[in-house]
Amino acid sequence: MDILKALLKKSDSKILLIVLDGIGDLPVKEGKTPLEVAKTPNLDILAKKSALGLHIPVDYGITPGSGPGHLGIFGYNPLKINIGRGVLEALGVGIELKETDVAIRGNFATVKYENGVPIVVDRRAGRIPTEENRRLINYLSSHISKIEDAQVILKSGAEHRFVVVFRFPHKVSSEVETINDTDPQAVGKMPLKPKGEGEIAERVSRIADTFSQKVAELLKNEPKANYALLRGFSVKPDLETFEEKFGLKACCIATYPMYKGLASLVGMKIIDFEGETIKEEIETLKREWQNFDFFFLHIKKTDSAGEDGNFEVKTKIIEEFDSFLPEILALNPSVLCITGDHSTPCILKAHSWHLVPVLIYSPFVLGETSERFTEREALKGELGIFYAYKLMPLLLAHAGKLKKYGA
């Protein structure tokens, strides 16, 4: 991949990367996936004129988190770079991280107590409204400001998500990333106790445990969000920016903090806008179209529906996206890529290791190999099967942003 820097060249072409989060799936209804069941006349027309294939987010059999999934499609090898979820969430909600910070992603959760022991009933507290989340964070912030020598910084995310940062008076090493999540990843189980390897990790674990206990006491009378599960203990890494790596002036249009955080970490400009719908994202894309040469547009709810096991909702979101495709194409992107960061099969209600469909539309594709944008049709496409971090060189080439290699 280092050869790319020597081959980069400027052009007026624009690249649009649309990520339908968790788009890949498995057959459930009549032996079909949501992409196969969805009525997508616009995607069908586009697919016939495009290059299709499947990407491997990390490696064969490896189920990626959202961080590695997006790193790959951004052109960074996720096996060589691992960014903690806490860092991504913190950057996404606008917290400027320092080298003295430990960032953690929090989930408000519902627990019941059996003989005084908390048992997880709902890991996401029923996906409480974001407004309710803000009320709870304001309340907690007024009661928890410091634990031992760590300043406690709390900020709301979307729905049940929030961020907690422990800010120390000294630099914190990456050994804190050995600390396990307190989320047991299943209902009917006790939250896990945080534990890490090394002196600093042990101290952060102790502070995190104290934090969890304080939150549980303060929220004990809440009907849904009466507990907090902690995930992704991490510190900010030193990472080459997207512009340094690919020579692109890039921006991010997304509604969820996690994805804004990842885009921010690689140096993309985060575009703020009101609203959370696909329509509002597309309107934002139109407004910014003249200002950048690379656009990352993220659509979250395909993934949320997959995690909820809701086949019908995932299908409807795909259909909704399809209805906006003519407006997107009217912008006349030099290269349009539609893909996902990973698969989230409804039958699993979780991320999976399955391959992810990819569509590349440009004047320089073979085309006419696939009839629709689906998992099975992507198998017929000219792109074949490739690692996700190889996607960016393909997009650059299709956009005319790479010179010839060698004499």
Q: How far apart are CA 165 and CA 183, in angstroms?
A: 17
Q: How far apart are CA 122 and CA 105, in angstroms?
A: 17
Any domain includes 372: yes
User: Quick one: what percent of the chain has pLDDT higher than 70?
Assistant: 100
Q: What's the mean pLDDT in 8-31?
A: 95
- Same domain, yes or no: 39 and 112: no
291 lies in some domain: yes
Give yes or no: residues 99 and 169 share one domain: yes
Asked if the model's pLDDT at residue 294 lies above 90, the reply is yes
**In this structure, are residues 336 and 16 in contact, taking their beta carbons and an 8 Å threshold?**
yes
Structural domain of 306: 3-83+239-398
Q: Write down the pLDDT at residue 2.
A: 75
Most distant pair of Cα atoms in the chain: their distance: 75
Percentage of the residues of the chain whose pLDDT score is greater than 90: 84
Cβ-contact 362, 15 below 8 angstroms = no
Q: How far apart are CA 268 and CA 28, in angstroms?
A: 37
How far is CA 371 from each of CA 18, 29, 36, 367, 376, rounded to the nearest angstrom? Answer: 20, 20, 11, 10, 10
Tell whether 209 and 117 lie within a shared domain: yes
**pTM strictly above 0.85:** no
- Considering only CA atoms, which of 102, 133, 121 is closest in space to residue 196? 102
Position 404 in a domain: no
Alpha-carbon gap, residue 39 to 384, rounded angstroms = 25
Cα separation, 157 vs 89, whole angstroms: 8
Q: Are residues 228 and 255 in the same domain?
A: no
Residue 80 has pLDDT above 70, yes or no: yes
The residues near 223 (Cβ < 8 Å, ≥ 6 apart) are: none
pLDDT value of position 18? 98
Q: Residue 394 pLDDT more than 60?
A: yes
Average pLDDT of the chain, as a whole number: 94
* Inside any domain, residue 406: no
C-alpha pair distances (Å), 211 with each of 151, 159, 208: 11, 21, 5
Q: Same domain for 114 and 221? A: yes
Is 405 part of any domain? Answer: no
Angle at 302 between CA 298 and CA 304, to 5 degrees: 105
**Mean pLDDT of all residues in 69-77:** 95
Task: Specify the DSSP class assigned to residue 405.
Answer: P
Q: In this predicted structure, what is the pLDDT of residue 96?
A: 80
Q: Is residue 403 part of a domain?
A: no
One domain, residues 251 and 390: yes
- Note whether 109 and 126 are within 8 A (CB): no
Is residue 359 within 8 A of residue 50, CB to CB? The reply is yes
3-state secondary structure of 195: coil
What does the pLDDT average to over 347-359? Answer: 97
Closest CA to 91 of 210, 195, 232: 232
Query: Alpha-carbon distance 155 to 326, whole Å?
Result: 37
Mean pLDDT of 264-288: 94
Instruction: Write down the residue that tokens 């979101």 correspond to.
Output: 317
In a domain, residue 60? The reply is yes
Over residues 365-382, the mean pLDDT reads: 97
Tell me, yes or no, whether 276 and 394 share the same domain: yes
**DSSP for residue 29:** B
Report the alpha-carbon angle 226-232-234, nearest 5.
130
The domain total for the chain is 2
pLDDT digits (tens, 9 = 90+) for 184-241: 989 999 999 999 999 999 999 999 999 999 999 999 999 999 999 999 999 988 788 9
Give the residue from 219, 234, 249 where a domain finishes. Answer: 234
Q: Which of 213, 234, 255 is the last residue of a domain?
A: 234
Are both 295 and 392 inside the same structural domain? yes
Side chain identity, residue 185: Q
pLDDT confidence tier of residue 331, bands split at 50, 70 and 90: very high
Among 234, 254, 284, the domain boundary falls at: 234
Q: Report yes or no: 163 and 99 within 8 Å, Cβ to Cβ.
A: no
Indicate if 193 and 243 belong to the same structural domain: no
For residue 158, what pLDDT is reported?
Answer: 84
Domain check: are 128 and 145 in the same one? yes
Residues 222 and 247 in one domain: no
194 secondary structure, DSSP code: P
Per residue, the 3-state secondary structure of 252-283, as one string, reads EECCCHHHHHHHHHCCCEECCCCCCCHHHHHH
Specify the CATH number for the domain of residue 390.
3.40.720.10
Q: For residue 243, what are the contacts with CB-CB under 8 A and spacing of at least 6?
A: 249, 250, 267
Rama region for 249: left / alpha / beta (φ>0; ψ in -120 to 50; rest)? beta
Based on the domain organization, do 259 and 392 belong to the same domain?
Answer: yes
d(CA 346, CA 359): 22
Say whether pLDDT at 300 is over 90.
yes
More confident call, 240 vs 283: 283
Q: Which residues contact 327 (CB under 8 A, 6 or more apart)?
A: 282, 286
| CA 305 centroid distance within chain | 14
pLDDT (tens digit per residue) in 123-139: 999 899 999 999 999 99
Rounded to an integer, the average pLDDT of 282-300 is 97
Q: What does the pLDDT read at residue 174? A: 86
What is the rounded average pLDDT of the residues 377-388? 98
Is the predicted pLDDT of residue 1 greater than 60, yes or no? no
If pLDDT is split at 50, 70 and 90, which confidence band does 97 have?
confident
**407 domain-assigned:** no
Contact predicate 164/108, CB 8 Å: no
Q: Are 287 and 329 in contact (CB under 8 A)?
A: no
Contact (CB, 8 A) for 191 and 209: no
Highest mean pLDDT among 170-184, 260-274, 341-355: 341-355
Judge contact between 305 and 25, C-beta under 8 A.
no
